[in-house]
Amino acid sequence: MNMQNLMMQAKKIQKDIEKTQSELESKTYEGKSQFVTVVMSGKNKLESVKISENDVSLDDLEMLEDMILLAVNAAIGKMEADKQQKMGKYSQFLNGMM
């Protein structure tokens, strides 16, 4: 493979990476726990928190905070897994070039 072909291939990969990153950033990810649902953007911004219609007393506040934490972490986990799946192919290629 000559240098010109290698550079053309690298530019194509860079464009593919940018496109994939843009697609991932435009998505939303939902995480749920027992009665809390959160939605996060692909840019790691918390978009919404919804608490189900169940009555939540002040005594349950600590548990509610834990449920929100679990839901947010679930959404982040989905987002990171999606990024890893879609971006992993590029890191494998780039590691092979070096």
Q: What is the dihedral of CA 60, 51, 27, 17, to 10 degrees?
A: 0
pLDDT digits 0-9 by tens, 16-54: 988 998 999 999 999 888 878 889 898 888 888 888 766
Quick check: pTM over 0.75? no
CATH code for 27-89?
3.30.1310.10
Can you give the length of the chain in residues? Answer: 98
pLDDT digits 0-9 by tens, 84-95: 888 887 776 666
